[in-house]
Copies of this chain bind each other. A is one copy, B any other.
Amino acid sequence: MPVTIRQISEAAGVSVATVSRALNGSDHPVNAETQKRILEIAQKLGYHPNHIARSLRTDRSPIIGIICDDITSAFTTKIVRGVQDRLKEDGYFCVVINTDWDPASEQRAIQDLTGYLIEGIIFAETVHQSASDELKLNDKKCVFVHRLFPKGFPNSVIPDELYGSRLAVNHLIQLGHKRIGYLNGPEQFYSSEERFLGYKTMLEDSGIAFDPTLVANGDFGTEQGYVAASQLLDLPEPPTAIFAANDLMAIGTIYAAQDRGLRIPDDLALVGYDNQYISTISRPSLTTVSLPCFEMGRASAELLLALLNDEAADSQEIKVKGELLIRESCGAARDPQPAPRMPSRVDRLNLFRDQNNGKG
C-alpha cells in the first residue's frame, strides 16, 4: 500500500495538518526543525502525494487535455511536444486524445475530460466543430492551436503563413529571379490562401507583376506537385524559380525537373514550405520555410496557463513566425552543405550510454 500523510504524521508524532503544511511549503508557518524531520521521514518512507485526493479537495488538477485529430501527423506531434514541454515546467501532465476527425469523438472527449476535472483543454489541429457547443456548457478554459482555419478564432495560436511566404519569395527575388512560379495548395486550407497571398503581395511589393500563368494548382501531395511543376516547366517561357506551397510538392518538382534534364538549383531554383524531415535528406536538400510547430505548441500552453491564472484576456490570436532555412535547392548556399542529420536516436542513446557506462 502506498504511504499516506497519516503514516508520516504517526511516525513524526505530529498531526496530518502539520505534515501537509510541511510537505507543501504552505504559507502557514511551520517550525523549521519539524519540517525538516517530516521531509526526512517522507523521504525514507517513499511518500508520493496522492494527486487524486488532492484534486478532490482543492478542485484543481495537474492534468490538461490535448485533443487532436491524429497524433500520428508529424505536425501535430511537434505541437503536442511543445505543449507538453511548457506545461511540464508548471507541473502539468497531458492527456492526449485522438478524434480521427470525428465530431462525435471530439464531443465525447470533451465530456470525458471535463469529468476528470482537468484544468483546461488544448485543441491541437482539430476540426473542432463540436467543440464550441460542448464547451459552453462546461466552462473549461481552452486554446486552439492549428493551421487550418480562417483566422479570427478566439484564444488561438496559428503560424504566420503570410510572413513565411513572403520570406521565401523575397529570397528568390533577392537571388535575381523575376519569373517565379508558384505551386498552390488546395483551396480549402487557410495556409494555402495565406501562402498564395504572400506570393502575390511580395511580387507586387518588388515591382514584379503577378502572372497567373505561372501558378499551378496542387493538393499538397508529391504527385500533384509533379504534375503542377510539369505544367510550369513545359511552358513556352518557363519560370527560373519555383516556390512550392509545401515541401511534398517541392519533392514532386525535383522529380519533374529530373525528367526534363534540368538541374536544381543551376537550371531551376526551388523553395518549399514546412521544413518537413524529407527536406533535409532530399537531393538536393530543400530550402524551405519552417512551420514553427514546436513554438506554436509552447505558445498555446503559455496562453492556456495565462488563462488559468486569469492573466490573459480572452479572444487573443497569436501568430508565430517561422524562418527561412537555406539549403541546396535555391542555389544560395555558399558551401555544399552536409544535409542535417536526423535527430538521431543513435547519438542520444550513445550519449546516454557513455554517461552511464554501458549499464543501459
Chain A interface (Cβ within 8 Å of chain B)? 2, 46, 48-53, 55-56, 61-63, 69-74, 77-78, 80-81, 84-85, 88, 93-98, 101, 103, 111-117, 127, 129, 137-138, 148, 186, 188-189, 219-223, 248, 251, 255, 258, 277-278, 281, 283, 338-339, 341-346, 348-353, 356, 359-360
A341 vs B251: C-alpha distance in the bound complex, in angstroms?
13
Residues of B within 8 A of A51 (CB): 115-117
A101 vs B283: C-alpha distance in the bound complex, in angstroms?
31
A53 vs B58: C-alpha distance in the bound complex, in angstroms?
12
Q: Beyond A77-B72, A103-B356, A349-B127, is A116–B52 a contact (Cβ under 8 Å)?
A: yes
A349 vs B220: C-alpha distance in the bound complex, in angstroms?
13
27 contacting pairs across A/B (C-beta < 8 A) = A48-B111, A48-B114, A50-B56, A51-B115, A52-B55, A52-B61, A71-B77, A71-B84, A81-B98, A94-B96, A95-B96, A101-B348, A103-B356, A127-B349, A127-B352, A129-B356, A186-B346, A188-B346, A188-B350, A189-B346, A219-B344, A219-B346, A220-B344, A221-B346, A222-B339, A255-B283, A258-B283
Q: Beyond A281-B222, A342-B221, is A138–B77 a contact (Cβ under 8 Å)?
A: no
Q: Beyond A96-B94, A188-B349, A248-B281, is A115–B49 a contact (Cβ under 8 Å)?
A: yes
**A50 contacts B281, C-beta separation under 8 Å:** no
**A94 contacts B95, C-beta separation under 8 Å:** yes
Residues of B within 8 A of A351 (CB): 101
Residues of B within 8 A of A343 (CB): 70, 72
Q: Which one of B117, B189, B346 lies within 8 Å of A50 (CB-CB)?
A: B117
Q: Beyond A72-B81, A117-B52, A283-B255, is A223–B349 a contact (Cβ under 8 Å)?
A: no
Residues of B within 8 A of A53 (CB): 56
Residues of B within 8 A of A281 (CB): 222, 248, 251, 278
- A98 CB to nearest chain B CB (Å): 6
Residue ID in chain B nearest A73 by CB atoms: B345
Q: Closest 7 A-B residue pairs measured CB to CB?
A: A48-B115, A51-B116, A222-B281, A101-B352, A101-B348, A93-B95, A52-B55
